[in-house]
Amino acid sequence: MLQQLVQGVTTEEEFLLIQDQAECRGRMLLKSIVRSSGLRGEKVHVFGFEVSEDEFRAELPEDADSWLVFHDGYWDTRNWNQSAVVAVDNFDLHNILSHIKPSQGATEQAVAVVLDSLSWILLHKPVTTICHLLQHLSRTAAGMGLKVRRIVGLLHGDLHEPGILASICHLASTAIKVLPLPDAGSVKSKGSCGLAAVRHIKKSGKVIYKEEYFTVLENCELKFLGEHNLEPDYQEEDTDKTDPASNLTFNLHLSDQERRAKEEVPLPFHFSMEKKSSLLQSSKGQGLIYYEPDAADDIDDEDPDDDLDF
């Protein structure tokens, strides 16, 4: 599933979040997603604050210049030298849209927005501003006639509080958490590899969880190495060997004698064959009805239907 998400086989717009930590970095996985977006024909706009442009372009294909646009926020992040292409202080929704909109006369194509990294932006911007940006970027760009195919963000999980991580992860349709390998000898690979815990929300609302081993080759190509079997946190007890009625103060079971006595008790409103046949037999005599009028009765001997014409 990780390889399909990186390649972007889904058609709907998505926000893909990569969460890493100091002992297992996720920037190579980020570059693999950038490479896949470029090969798919998208214009990739990278807003870089943590590494320089030369370092980010390293390991990427040689033809990356045709589809990769790097907006440099690394050398002058706070715009103190008045030379910043992107400054973190004025980094907002309108600032991003002004950078990713196509130039006049250029052909329109799908766009992928990469934020490297969200952690650096969150150090200077409140989390509410970033959540508003991530939630409304695609919709606002669509109103301008620009299709943002994918938003990709790199987040360092060991730099933020759990509440901030939960807020950002809640907005992501796909969250990839890069984890250290539980057993280095369990996966055989020539290069470095890692373990990705993937949570993907489909358009129908179904949530899929998977853990997969992966490695990123020299040309930033992702290679799938296999799935990691999720072990349960507890062992279920064998319910076949335990009797829930063993320690009760009353008996739930019937003995053979009690069961026979229960079967001999006639059920309510259940007639035996003898009683049923006696009730169904017709009586030999004929029943008569005697009526004695009271003194207050108004008896009229005339036929009430005489005035009707039949």
Q: How many CB atoms lie within 10 A of CB 87?
A: 18
Would you tell me the crossing angle of helices 162-171 and 127-143 to the nearest 10 degrees?
10
For position 59, what pLDDT does the model report?
Answer: 87
For position 27, what pLDDT does the model report?
Answer: 92
Give the separation between CA 60 and CA 40, rounded to whole angstroms. Answer: 15
Does pLDDT of 241 surpass 90? Answer: no
Give the lowest-confidence range in 38-52, 110-124, 263-277: 263-277
Alpha helices for the chain (secondary structure H): 2-7, 27-39, 53-57, 93-100, 118-122, 127-143, 162-171, 256-264, 273-280
In the structure, how many helices (H) and strands (E) does the chain have?
A: 9, 9
Q: What is the pLDDT of residues 180-197, one digit of tens each?
A: 887 655 554 444 578 999
Dihedral Cα 91, 92, 94, 99, nearest 10 deg: 40
User: What single-letter amino acid sits at 298?
Assistant: D
Residue 230 binned pLDDT confidence (cut-offs 50, 70, 90): low
Average pLDDT, the chain: 83
Q: What is the pLDDT of residues 59-68, one digit of tens each?
A: 898 889 999 9
For position 191, what pLDDT does the model report?
Answer: 45
For position 285, what pLDDT does the model report?
Answer: 63
Does pLDDT of 231 surpass 60? Answer: no
Does pLDDT of 282 surpass 90? Answer: no
For position 236, what pLDDT does the model report?
Answer: 47
Q: How far is CA 270 from CA 265, 280, 297, in A?
A: 11, 15, 45
* DSSP H or E run through 211: strand 207-216
Q: How many CB atoms lie within 10 A of CB 102?
A: 13
For position 22, what pLDDT does the model report?
Answer: 87
For position 11, what pLDDT does the model report?
Answer: 56
Task: Answer whether 2's CB lies under 8 Å from 178's CB.
Answer: no
